[in-house]
Amino acid sequence: MTTVAVIGLGIMGGPMAANLLTAGLDVVGYNRTREKVDQLVERGGRGADDVADAVRDADIVLTMLPDSPDVEGVVLGEGGVLDSAKAGTLLVDASTIRPDVSVRLAEAARARGMRAVDAPVSGGEAGAVEGTLSIMVGGEPADVEAARPVLEAVGSTVVHVGPAGSGQTVKAANQLIVAGTIELVAEALVFLEAHGVDTEAAIKVLAGGLAGNRILDRKAAGMTAREFTPGFRVDLHHKDLGIVTSAAREAGVAIPVGALVAQLMGSLRAQGHGSLDHSALLLLVEQLSGRRGG
C-alpha cells in the first residue's frame, strides 16, 4: 500500500487527506494544530508529531501550506522533508506559492535523491471536499505520472502543464481570473440590488447565458445573503495576487484589471476582512457605492 504523508490539514488539506483515505491509501498527517491531526486519525488515518515523523516512511509527501516561506521551512528546514524522507520519495506540493520557489524546491529535491512536482489546486473547499479539484502540475513527465494516482484521488481534472514551476504559473493565472470574476459579480449584484431587481431570478438567468461562470454558481447565493464563511480567505487571495503582479512585472506583461483587483483585495484586507471568504469583495463595492458594507 502506498503511504502518503500529508503536511497541512487545514480547510483544503484536511478534506484532501480524507479523500486519499477513501481511495484506500495509507495516510499519515501532520499539522501544527493537533486537533486537525486527531480529526484525521478519527477518519482512519495516522497522526504524526512532527514533519520528520510524518515523512520518514512515506512514498509520497503532499504539502498543502499557506505561503512560500511555509513550504520552504517544511521542505528545506532542519528536520524537514529533505532531511527526513527516504531516497526516491516524491514531493507533491499542492500549495500556491511563487513559481521560482517551486523550481528551487525541485532542484533541491533532485540533489538529495528525491523528486518533486508542483501541483497547486483550484476549486476551493467545496472542490476539496467533493474530490473535484482542478490540478495544474509542473515537473518531469515521469514524476507527474508517479503522482497522478494520488492527484486523481483528490481532483477530477489533472493536467501536466510543463516543467517545474509551470503549475504555479498556471495557478497564478487562475487566481487572476477568479479575483476579477468575483469583483465583476460583486459589482453586478450591488447594481441589481440598487435597482430593486429580484437578484435570485437575475442570477438564474445570468448563469444560463454567456455571463454564466463558476462564481455565480458557487458564490452568488452567499454573496446576496452576506454570508462570507471562508472557503478561500481574503488573506490568501491577497497573497496570490501579489504572486501574480510580481510574476507579470518580471515577464513584462501588463495586467491593468488584475492590478486594480489586487488593490481592491488589499484594501478589503486592510479593513480587517482578511479572514472572510474572498467573495466579501462585495462589501467593498457596497462601501464604494455609499451603500452598506465596509
pLDDT in tens, 88-129: 999 999 999 999 999 999 999 999 999 999 999 999 899 999
- Number of other CB atoms surrounding residue 29 within 10 Å: 29
Three-state DSSP at 6 gives strand
Three-state SS for 67?
coil
* pLDDT at 293 exceeding the cut of 90: no
What are the beta bridge partners of residue 228?
A: none
User: What is residue 231's predicted lDDT score, i.e. its pLDDT?
Assistant: 86
pLDDT at residue 20 greater than cutoff 60? yes
pLDDT of residue 215: 96
Residue indicated by cell numbers 508529531: 49
Give pLDDT tens digits for 234-246.
Answer: 999 999 999 999 9
Give yes or no for residue 171 having a pLDDT over 60.
Answer: yes
Distance between CA 266 and CA 245 in Å, rounded? 12
Unique residue bearing C-alpha cell 478589503 = 268
DSSP annotation string for 106-159: HHHHHHTT-EEEE--EESHHHHHHHT-EEEEEES-HHHHHHHHHHHHHHEEEEE
- Four-residue CA torsion sign, 194, 196, 200, 204: negative
All structural domains of the chain: 3-164 (3.40.50.720), 169-288 (1.10.1040.10)
| 171 has catalytic annotation | yes
For residues 213-224, give the mean pLDDT.
96
Q: Chain-wide mean pLDDT for the chain? A: 97
The residues with which 26 forms a beta bridge, in sequence order, are: 3
CA distance 73 to 82: 11
Query: Which of 36, 171, 219, 239 is the catalytic position?
Result: 171
Q: Are the CB atoms for 129 and 114 separated by under 8 Å?
A: no
- pTM, two decimals, is 0.92
Mean pLDDT of 219-238: 96
Q: Is the pLDDT of residue 292 over 80?
A: no
